[in-house]
Chain A
């Protein structure tokens, strides 16, 4: 039997990459699988995506998916800058940035903040495990205060909460998920790819080697137990004319830039992801009660992207030639005359 293909004429395998070299059971590999699944189901043309990353275990992972897409693995903590530059050069590309907590919240926090501030168009995934894997188990800035590392040392410092900071900075799309919740994660990856602007997706992705002990709030078991989804999520891609049945007041819909829709089915509490102060209060409550709040945290429609602000044309800047980019001889002479 021939392998199934999607609307782009590609098999799921076409969205994969060479085998991962991360530890067995690493949460990052689940995210890799999620990205493959999401891109396959969204019928993405691989050449329209650019994978970018910094340095660290998470930043290695773009090698392991979308081998038909260009990738750029650069320097530690600075992926947002080259991602921004790539997008400036070619507005038709979709940027998929994969980073980690050390990469984005320690060394790269400046770029993280300013990328959100500019609303540079990209899906920005942080594979968050509170620890440095490649350098063997040091704390990152998202590690929980008072909890021990692999060697039993206690982290004395307060953690930085990525979504909280993103909401405060005015990010246009903020979500959190858990590598153990495949359905929610894939839905949020799809929504993030469909968003125009900077979509932050913080994914708790336990480090099975250095941060999975019983007392760690970043362990698989802890996150599994304390994961509180804000909504039951459904994704309706733009190419499907599906109406989703739900009773009035039971669900909200968010229409994304490319016409796809995110269905937010109400769970225990009614939560409005377009209310910034409600989002901050919810996150604060989660931190206080030591729970992991997941789902679509905040969404702002039609926020101008960096490309909008700079009034960039649809034609990629990189495609313009001498005639497009140089003033005419007459304009140049007029300019020189003014300098006399």
Chain B
């Protein structure tokens, strides 16, 4: 047997959509995390309810890499429909575990360890209910993997108990299915491969969460009280989580009243309209959507920009254009969001890369929106939003709300007059009042038409131009309130890498790959747009700057060259997108090609 490979390989599980493999896969993921092994998961699923192929990649990595490898070492083949192509990718040294009740191997490949397990027959003969049988077929392979690769069975059982909590019957059948898998493997399989999972101490005390849930939790801490949304993959679970957390954290135990209103609107126009109305009236309000929703919301986004209404818009990006690949990931809405709507518009973007940042930046987004009186976009993507991630526990977010420039009744009592859009502080941001303020000077008329400093209607050329210039100045003020970029890598390197969002995970690995080729790089990760001065300084300090992103048109590179026209000579576009999470190997190769 070749030298054993410990904790550094990828297991690919091929199932059919709608057969309940998700719960088995999640049990597997959590087990590995609790075993202390750095683990990441990518769920590659189709836009379909039942039947089409779906894959779950579980990568363990002693280096802690969390990006998606294109290769895998262990194939768990449960779906006959995808087996031919799944098997085609198998190489010498790999492992194939397959449901031998439904899949036969036409020709075995050399150097591959094959483990036939009649998964569906085992489930069929041991469980009566047809639906349960299908579900537990998946749980059986958890047991097989446990036996073959040394998963801790006590941890598996505890994860099952924690997952299904008080549903004792469900706990029992799942544990039984795992045991059946273990027993079958013990009796019938002889280990011929070299892979093993060994307990480690690399990931103590981790929490496991999807990005969308972390974002929703951020909304709770950010003080969001009105949320309106329309169902769309991959954003739905964000608002659904917010509703769940609303019931848990915002419901008054005595009166049963709720300190959050979550409304499923009839479309995205209505969703953002409700959020804008609530934001204008003083609530911290959000909507959650994906690219197609942003397209629909664009007219409203322009209104909120021009009339200066705070609102937070979450875009969990998926592959466009049009319906595109609705269950695949992309960073394709950067320029759309940076300037959504007709006319001259500029918007603030926040760019989390981890579930911890989903939590913190989402909470912070409401402060930025209130302070800047404008829409704030939080851009995540399907990879971050809909996958499980392990993370250190979040710290309690205790930053006080920044409600921005709001004049209450006391302030109004001292005021001689109120001019909504007057730049009295010379930062471009005016003072606002909220409807319901009992003072005769407090009222103003908000409009999407041209307006004066006093919020009255105007088509005067100088009034319009003055207002638009003030809005541009206000946008420049943004960086005082938004998170600065983060720096890693070799300070003295002349090769710079700029990334943002989930591309971060591939960049960590790409940096090491570059180092292997004796190429060192320094990295800047953007957390927000507009750019801080540090971004300019970083570009200036490099010979070449590779801007790495998951889209075809190098959208962030476009914003950078627009912001720093002199730097376009240095900026190298490393932009590609096939719908899967970014591949560090391809990033590394492309960087070496373009510099």
Contacts and interface: CB of A to CB of B under 8 A. Distances in A.
B435 A47 contact: yes
Contact of A47 (B261, B272, B436): B436
B400 interface: yes
B36 to A, nearest CB: 12
Question: Chain B interface residue count: which class?
Answer: 35 or more
A313 B434 CA distance: 19
B496 to A, nearest CB: 36
Contacts of B261: 88, 310, 312, 317
A339 B159 CA distance: 11
A88 B274 contact: yes
Interface stretch (B139-147, B205-213, B483-491): B205-213
B310 to A, nearest CB: 11
A73 B276 CA distance: 12
Interface stretch (B15-23, B84-92, B250-258): B250-258
B446 interface: yes
Contacts, number: 219
Nearest to A50: B435
Most buried by B among A67, A312, A325: A325
Nearest to B355: A339
B281 A89 contact: yes
B338 interface: no
B538 interface: no
Contacts of B209: 339
A317 to B, nearest CB: 4
Given A45-B438, A47-B438, A114 B270 contact: yes
Contacts of A326: 220-221, 223, 249, 397
Contact of A70 (B221, B226, B228, B444): B444
A331 B205 CA distance: 18
Interface in A272-326: 306, 310-313, 316-322, 324-326
A232 B223 CA distance: 50
Contact of A81 (B273, B307, B435, B443): B273
A165 B487 CA distance: 60
B265 interface: yes
A46 B443 contact: yes
Contact of A322 (B263, B270, B401): B401
Contact of B258 (A310, A327, A331): A310
A336 B443 contact: no
Interface string B426-449: 000000011111111011111111
B149 interface: no
B481 interface: no
B281 A85 contact: yes
B303 A75 contact: yes
Contacts of A329: 396
A315 B379 CA distance: 32
Nearest to A330: B396
B299 interface: yes
Contact of A317 (B260, B270, B273): B260
Interface string B387-400: 00000011011101
Nearest to A10: B440
B282 A74 contact: no
Contacts of A48: 436
B344 interface: no
A171 to B, nearest CB: 16
Contacts of B551: none
Interface string A66-77: 011111111100
Contacts of A20: none
A42 interface: no
Nearest to B299: A75
A78 B283 contact: no
B445 A71 contact: yes
B435 A70 contact: yes
A298 to B, nearest CB: 23
Contact of A311 (B258, B270, B274, B396): B258
A73 B283 contact: no
B184 interface: no
B404 to A, nearest CB: 13
A271 interface: no
23 contacts: A63-B445, A68-B443, A70-B446, A71-B443, A71-B447, A74-B307, A81-B274, A81-B276, A81-B277, A85-B278, A85-B280, A86-B280, A89-B279, A89-B285, A110-B266, A318-B225, A318-B281, A321-B223, A325-B259, A326-B220, A333-B396, A338-B162, A339-B207
Given A89-B283, A312-B257, 19 more contacts: A63-B445, A63-B457, A69-B443, A70-B433, A73-B448, A75-B448, A81-B265, A81-B276, A84-B277, A85-B226, A85-B278, A88-B278, A89-B226, A90-B434, A93-B436, A312-B261, A317-B226, A325-B259, A331-B249
Interface of A: 45-48, 50-52, 62-63, 67-75, 78, 80-90, 92-93, 110-111, 113-114, 118, 306, 310-313, 316-322, 324-327, 329, 331-333, 335-336, 338-340
